[in-house]
Structure 1
Amino acid sequence: MGALTGIRVLEVGTLLAGPFTGRLLGDFGAEVIKIEPPDRSDPMRHWGQQIDGEGLLWPVQSRNKKCITLNLRKPEGQRVFKELAAEADVVLENFRPGTMEKWGLGYEELKTVNPGIIMLRTSGFGQTGPYSSQAGFGSVGEAMGGLRYVTGYGDRPPTRVGISIGDSLAALFATIGCLLALQERNKSGQGQVVDTAIYEAVFSLMEGLVPEYALKGYVRERSGNILPGVAPANIYETKESDYVVIGANADTVFKRLAQAMGAPEMAEDERYATHNARGQNQDELDNLINEWTQSVSTDDLLQILSEFGVPAGKIYSAKDIVNDPHYLARDMILSMMHPHLGEFKLPGIVPKLSRTPGEVNWLGPAEMGEHNSEVYQGQLGYTDGQINQLKRLEII
C-alpha cells in the first residue's frame, strides 16, 4: 500500500515532462494509466540508447504504469476518455495549450463529468500569457529560465546540463502541485488546474538572480566549476587523473582541509583565514589544493578527507554509480527482469518514506495497449463486442 494507493491518474502526453510526473506518482502507488494513440507509439519507446529498437529510458519512465491505446482526435475516442475521466482523480497532459480544448477535453468539459478532477497541465510557457501558444521544449525553458546563461565557462558560449533538466524540474513541480491539489480536495471536494510552465520551473531555482540585478545591477555570468568568491569549492585532479569535488568554503571546514593537507598554518594565513579572503585569492588557493590532490591517489584522497570531515566526492560516471556500495545499500540501483531485455538495472525511488515507501512493481509496458482489456473491460465494463467495434473504428 503506497502513499498514493487509490489515486487514479490518466497520463496523456509524450516524452519527458508529463511522463516523469506520472512515474513519480506511480512510484508511490497511484494507478497510472498511460494513453497512447493507436496509430503511433510514444517516441520514448525508441528514444536515446536502444537495444533491438527498444529505448532504454522507456522502462524507467514508464515503470508501474498501465498502458492503453485511445484515439483522442475522434469523437468516439473523446467520449471514451470522458468515461475514464469520470472514474479518475487526475488527468496529466503536456500538450501545447489549447490542444485538449480542441478535442473537447479541457478542464471545463472534464469537470462536468467529474467535479473533483485535478488536471495537471505542463507546457513550455504555461496556459496564459503572450507566449502560451508557442511551442516550448525543455531546452527552450532552460534557456529562457536563466539556467543556460550561467552554465559553462565565461570565455565560451553557454552550454547545457547533460540531461533534460528543464523537463525534469517541471515534472517535480507538477508533482508537488498534484499533491497540493489532492490535499485541498480533501477539504473542498473540488478539483482544479495545476499549471506548470517549464521556463518557470527552471527560473524558480535561480537563487538570487533577480534581486542581484534589480538592486545591484549585477548580472551573474558563467563561471565554470566555481562560484566567484566562494572558495575552496572546485574540482581537483588526483594522481590517476580522476576528479574530486571538495567543498571547504566554510571557515571551520577549511581549517580541517588545511590539517588534512598537512598544512594547518594555511588556516591562519591572512590570505585564506576568512571567507572573504579566500574568495579574493580563489585561483591561488585552488592551485595549491590541486597540487596536493595530484600527488594523492583517488581512494587515499577520499579516505583522508573523510577522516578530517571535509565534504568531498569523486565525480561519478554511470560505471561508478552502479558499483557504489552506498547506492546499493539504499536501494538506489534496482534490478528487475525485462521481458525482452533480461536483467534490467534502473534508478531507485526518491524520497524514502518510512511507513509507506514507494515501490517498482513492474517495468514500463513492453507492448502498446497492453492493458486495454483490463481498463476497458475491467474498469468500464465494455463487452467484447464494444471492444471489437472500437478497434474497427480505429479508436483503440
Structure 2
Amino acid sequence: MSSGNSEKNHGPLKDLTVIEMGSLIAGPFCGQILGDFGATVIKIEDPKAGDPMRQWGRSLPQGLSPWWPVIGRNKLSVTLDLRTPEGQDIARRLIGGADVLVENFRPGAMEKWGLGYEALSKLNPGLVMARVSGFGQTGPYAQRAGYALIGEAMGGLRHITGEPDRPPARAGISIGDSLAGLHAALGTMMALHSRHNTGRGQVVDAAIYESVLSVMENLITEYGLTGYVRERSGAILPGIAPSNAYPTLSGDRVVIGANQETLWRRLTVAMGRPELAQDPRFSGHAARGANQIELDEIISAWTGTLTVEQLLAAMDEHGIAAGRVYRAPDMLDDPQFVAREAIVERPHPVFGSVKMQNAFPKLSETPGAVRWPGPTLGEHTDAVLAERAGVSEDQLKDLRARGIV
C-alpha cells in the first residue's frame, strides 16, 4: 500500500486504524484530520463513482477535481458496495480490527445495513464510532436531510453574516461541514482517551447545527439576559472599535484591530493624532463602541492617504495588529507562510504536483504531515482487503466481476 510519498509517518496517531464511510465534507474532514496526524485511514467508497468530491469544484483541471487531493489526502481508497450483504460482511471484518469508524450517512442507514453501533460494539467493544449528521442521531429532526447551509442557518451563523441591508450571506466555504468534522475529530480523541482508561469505545454524535452553535460566542446568553437579538453588521462587530477593514491609497484594504485601550493609544500616535485618545467620544471601550461609525470614518480618512506597505509598516512599528485581506496568490508569496510551511506541495500522478494547506496545528515532537494527496478510486482495494479482511485473490476477482468492489 504505497503512500505515493516517501515522507516517514511520525504522527502521534500512527498506531490508529480508522475506517471512513460517507462522503462530501463533514465526515471526510474528520478523517482528513486524523490522517494528517498519522492514523491509517481506510476510506470506503462506492465502486461506481466514489466520493462525489472527486467530481466537485468550480474548475476541473484535466477533468479532475482540485478538491479531492485535499479532502482525500493521507487516505487509502477501498471500493465496497455497502448495500450488499457481501460488502457489509467485508466492512465488518475491516471494522473488527479498527479503532475508529467515521460515518456521515443519514441516521438509520448504518443500522439498516447491520452496521449500527450496537452490532459493531459486540464485534469490537473498543470501537469509537464518530457519527456526523445535520441534526444528530436523536430528536425530531434526526431523519431530516441536513447539509452545511442548513446547519449554518439554524445554528445562527447565517443571520449575522453579511451587510445589514441585504439578505443573510454565506461564508464562501462550507464552514458548517468543516466545524462538524473538527468537532467529530475532537470528540474522537476524547473517546479514545476514555477508552484508554476504561477499555470501552463509544459513539461520538456530531451534529452540524450544534457544531455551528458551539462557536456562536455569547449570542444566546446575550439574548437571554438582555433580549438583544444580534443582527448583521457587515465588516464590523457592533461595539468593538476600532476593528475593521480600512481603505488604502493602493486600493486594497487592511484589517486593523486596535480596540484594546493600549492599542488604541498606539494607533492615535501612529496617526499623528494622540489627542484622539483623550477625546470623550473615543476614550474607553464603551465610548468607542457608541461612536464606532464616526471613529472608523476618521481612521479611514487617514489610512486612505497611505499605501498598503506604508500602512502595514506603521502598524508594525507601533505594535498594532494588522494584515492585508489575502487571496490564494498572496498566501503563496508570503514569507510567514513560507517559513512555517503553511502550504506544501506534493507529487500527483496526473497534475504532476499539487499545492495545499499543511496539517495544523503544529506539534513539536510528533507533527502531522501531508504524506500524499487524495488517491485514485479503489487504488488500495486489493492490498487492504487481502491484508485486513482476509479476502483471497480469487474472491477479489469474483467480487469485482459482480461490482461489489
Indicate the TM-score class for this superposition, using the shorter chain for normalisation.
Answer: over 0.9
Aligned-residue identity in percent: 54
Partner of 1:46: 55
Task: Give the Cα–Cα distance (whole angstroms) in 2 for the partners of residues 189 and 369 of structure 1.
Answer: 33
Partner of 1:75: 85
Out of 377, 385, 395, the position equivalent to 2:394 is: 385
Asked whether 1:7 is paired with 2:7, we answer: no
Q: CA deviation at 1:292?
A: 0.6
Asked whether 1:164 is paired with 2:174, we answer: yes
Q: CA deviation at 1:311?
A: 0.6
Out of 87, 110, 115, the position equivalent to 2:120 is: 110
Task: Give the Cα–Cα distance (whole angstroms) in 1 for the partners of residues 87 and 359 of structure 2.
Answer: 34
Partner of 2:341: 331
Counterpart residue identity of residue 8, structure 1: T
Out of 133, 148, 159, the position equivalent to 2:143 is: 133
Q: CA deviation at 1:10?
A: 0.5
Task: Give the Cα–Cα distance (whole angstroms) in 2 for the partners of residues 39 and 338 of structure 1.
Answer: 22
Asked whether 1:345 is paired with 2:355, we answer: yes
> Which structure exhibits the higher relative contact order, with contacts defined as CA atoms closer than 8 Å and separated by 6 or more residues?
2
Partner of 2:6: none
Partner of 1:20: 29
Partner of 2:198: 188
What aligned pairs does 1:269-348 form with structure 2 within 5 A after superposition? 269-348=279-358
Task: Give the Cα–Cα distance (whole angstroms) in 1 for the partners of residues 46 and 238 of structure 2.
Answer: 50
- Cα deviation per residue 1:21-67 (whole Å; 9 max; x = unaligned)? 11100000000001111122211011113112210010011111000
Partner of 1:64: 74
Unpaired runs of at least 5, structure 1: none
Q: CA deviation at 1:277?
A: 1.2
Counterpart residue identity of residue 99, structure 2: D
Partner of 1:121: 131
Task: Give the Cα–Cα distance (whole angstroms) in 1 for the partners of residues 29 and 334 of structure 2.
Answer: 25
Asked whether 1:89 is paired with 2:77, we answer: no
Q: CA deviation at 1:336?
A: 1.2
Unpaired runs of at least 5, structure 2: 1-9
SS in structure 2 of the partner of residue 344 of structure 1: strand
- Cα deviation per residue 1:202-259 (whole Å; 9 max; x = unaligned)? 0011111112111211101111111111110011001011011111111110000001
Partner of 1:202: 212
SS in structure 2 of the partner of residue 170 of structure 1: helix
Out of 237, 250, 254, the position equivalent to 2:264 is: 254
Partner of 2:111: 101
SS in structure 2 of the partner of residue 55 of structure 1: coil
Regions of 4+ moved over 3 Å: none
SS in structure 1 of the partner of residue 346 of structure 2: strand
- RMSD, aligned α-carbons: 0.9
SS in structure 2 of the partner of residue 262 of structure 1: coil
- Cα deviation per residue 1:70-91 (whole Å; 9 max; x = unaligned)? 0100011101100001011111
SS in structure 1 of the partner of residue 206 of structure 2: strand
Out of 262, 265, 284, the position equivalent to 2:275 is: 265
